[in-house]
Structure 1
Amino acid sequence: MFCVTPPELETKMNITKGGLVLFSANSNSSCMELSKKIAENKSTNSRVCEGKRCFHHPNCFEIPDYRNAVIVAKSPASAKRAQSFAERLRLGIAVIHGEAQDAESDLVDGRHSPPMVRSVAAIHPSLEIPMLIPKEKPPITVVGDVGGRIAIIVDDIIDDVDSFLAAAETLKERGAYKIFVMATHGLLSSDAPRRIEESAIDEVVVTNTIPHEVQKLQCPKIKTVDISMILSEAIRRIHNGESMSYLFRNIGLDD
């Protein structure tokens, strides 16, 4: 696809010195700001010298004493993602398994599933339905040592925070002295900021792919990492037909 930019549109588009045109949503000023940062970055405008590329940025987030940290998967389903982070950072891993047990009131107020035998028989006395035994939930356990450690919960999106808050409580009970949540996209809708602020979570770190300035005003625990530099380098590599895997494979721990 080719794009010709009329002069009257140049002020509304982010055009790099290399001739690339970046289209950005304009429903929020933060979207335009990220697009401008990507367009203005040196990586988009010129070739990167061979060798290791450093992606230090003044907005990068650092965890003091991160060598004492452990990467946490808040469910077995997210263990693979947590393992990749743990291997990259050379840290340990922990996995939260199981569910919170039903309160005694849950068993008698209609939320108990499957229905009790009396309820099934009441449908029709001649029906021969085998007795259904409620599935017992496994108790919450943490596979891995988090006692006296910094727990870092990783995920791709944080929006509905129920699972994150439950994980944080479990980790705190198991002895984790600090709890961070790190996610790529921070949707943080509804009352998520207030609930995070009142929870056992110490900080939530997200990137600036989605605007969340209003949420940060409601919750000082929310921190933002600017990823415009790495996005601009990714765009440059795709445009020039260069390796994307090299971009991540050849960055050292100190970069």
Structure 2
Amino acid sequence: MRKTKIFAGSSHPELASLIADRLGIPLAPASFRKFPNQEMTVEIGTSVRDEDVFIIQSGSAAVNDNLMELLLMVNACKMASAGRITAVLPYFPYSKQSKKKKVRSAIAAKLVAQMIGVAGVDHVITMDLHGSQMQGFFSKPVDNLLAEPTIARYIMERIPEYSSGVVVSKNVGGAKRVTSLADRLRMDFALVHRERLGGSDPDEEDSKLTLVGDVSGRVCFIVDDVIDDVHGVCEAAIHLVSCRATRVHLVGTHGILSDNALHLVEACDAISEIIVTNTYPISEEKRKMTRKLRVIDVSGVLAEAIRRTHNGESISYLFYTA
């Protein structure tokens, strides 16, 4: 069987180290630097000829630099005659742009998928793609892992009264994700619907929230795949409390949490806790903005996916357990 080499880009070294430790394989050497004109260069520091190569690179705040870094690493391994190249992208960059939102806008997620394929990737491992249609953007096989089993286990172990709680979607688009977690935990689900008043923009103040479901006297879990701008979820949490919910937890896979999002969560009395996974790097500076943040480690799921991929085993097991 081919030997394995695991490389890590500079986007999320903490997660890459956790994955490598779980596999018992040290990260292979690679160097990255920028020229004075800001062009980036990558150098692979070991032979990869005919080997099974895995490159770990998540989306991050420096999304464009990290994406270019990934493309160069893939191409460098391809040119060095790697046997197979798998890109491990815990958070797929540009995934929120997975469809046309305006007449003359780009589908950026599809473009990124095509770029990765052209660079030389043979296989992609990612987690909780923003839209299910995104798997069709790739010309190579994609394994879209789920954070749901890990999140469900956290809720069952840490929140004793979860069974009488309610899983809540903050909009219609997230209903499928919410019902899936609710079914796994055998909980009820609800929907917060934002109604425009007079054809206004849904983000403006002259819109109102309507709860579909019963949360009175129950703990609530507002669930989404990506948590970035938190204004909407804070409003939803306040509305749930006004509907007599006892406590509100904010739950998501990818904690992008741009700008002062965590500061807003800390200031929102309606939110008791924000739970995210470590697919996306959260700086120490951001973590200090709130005492409510809980980060779940999914390195075990990603490491097992790498191990099973290398050994030619099925990874469907990972969709049900964590």
TM-score category, normalised to shorter length:
0.5 to 0.7
| Structure 1 letter corresponding to 2:273 | E
**What do the CA deviations read for 1:209-248 (whole angstroms, capped 9, x no partner)?**
1221321111111111111111101111222232222222
Aligned counterpart, 1:166 = 235
How many Å separate the matches in 1 of 2:168 and 2:200? 30
**Quick one: percent identity of the two aligned structures?**
41
**1:90 lines up with 2:159 in the alignment:** no
How many Å separate the matches in 1 of 2:225 and 2:218? 23
Question: Are the structure 2 counterparts of residues 165 and 39 from structure 1 closer, same or farther at C-alpha, using a change threshold of 3 Å?
Answer: same
> Structure 1 regions of 5+ residues with no counterpart?
1-17, 46-54, 103-111, 115-136
Report the TM-score, using the length of structure 1 for normalisation: 0.66
How many Å separate the matches in 1 of 2:289 and 2:207? 36
Higher strand share: 2
Match of 2:223 among 137, 154, 176: 154
Question: Are the structure 2 counterparts of residues 44 and 241 from structure 1 closer, same or farther at C-alpha, using a change threshold of 3 Å?
Answer: farther
| Structure 2 letter corresponding to 1:147 | S
Instruction: Tell me by how many angstroms 1:20 deviates.
Output: 2.3
Q: Contact 1:44–1:236 (CA<8 Å) still a contact in 2?
A: no
Aligned counterpart, 2:301 = 230
**What do the CA deviations read for 1:155-193 (whole angstroms, capped 9, x no partner)?**
111111111111101111111111001111111111111
**1:38 lines up with 2:19 in the alignment:** yes
Aligned counterpart, 2:274 = 204
Count of paired positions: 189
Question: Are the structure 2 counterparts of residues 91 and 43 from structure 1 closer, same or farther at C-alpha, using a change threshold of 3 Å?
Answer: farther
How many Å separate the matches in 2 of 1:87 and 1:60? 16
Report the TM-score, using the length of structure 2 for normalisation: 0.53
How many Å separate the matches in 2 of 1:244 and 1:217? 36
Match of 1:215 among 286, 289, 305: 286
Aligned counterpart, 1:11 = none
Match of 1:66 among 132, 145, 162: 162
Question: Are the structure 2 counterparts of residues 43 and 205 from structure 1 closer, same or farther at C-alpha, using a change threshold of 3 Å?
Answer: farther
How many Å separate the matches in 2 of 1:44 and 1:97? 48
| Structure 2 letter corresponding to 1:185 | H
Q: Contact 2:200–2:207 (CA<8 Å) still a contact in 1?
A: no
Aligned counterpart, 1:49 = none
Structure number with higher relative contact order (C-alpha < 8 Å, ≥ 6 residues apart): 1
Q: Contact 2:219–2:248 (CA<8 Å) still a contact in 1?
A: yes
How many Å separate the matches in 1 of 2:301 and 2:200? 48
Aligned counterpart, 1:22 = 6
Q: What is the RMSD computed on CA atoms of the aligned residues?
A: 2.8
Aligned counterpart, 1:141 = 210
Question: Are the structure 2 counterparts of residues 40 and 66 from structure 1 closer, same or farther at C-alpha, using a change threshold of 3 Å?
Answer: same
How many Å separate the matches in 1 of 2:304 and 2:312? 12
* The structure with more radius of gyration: 1
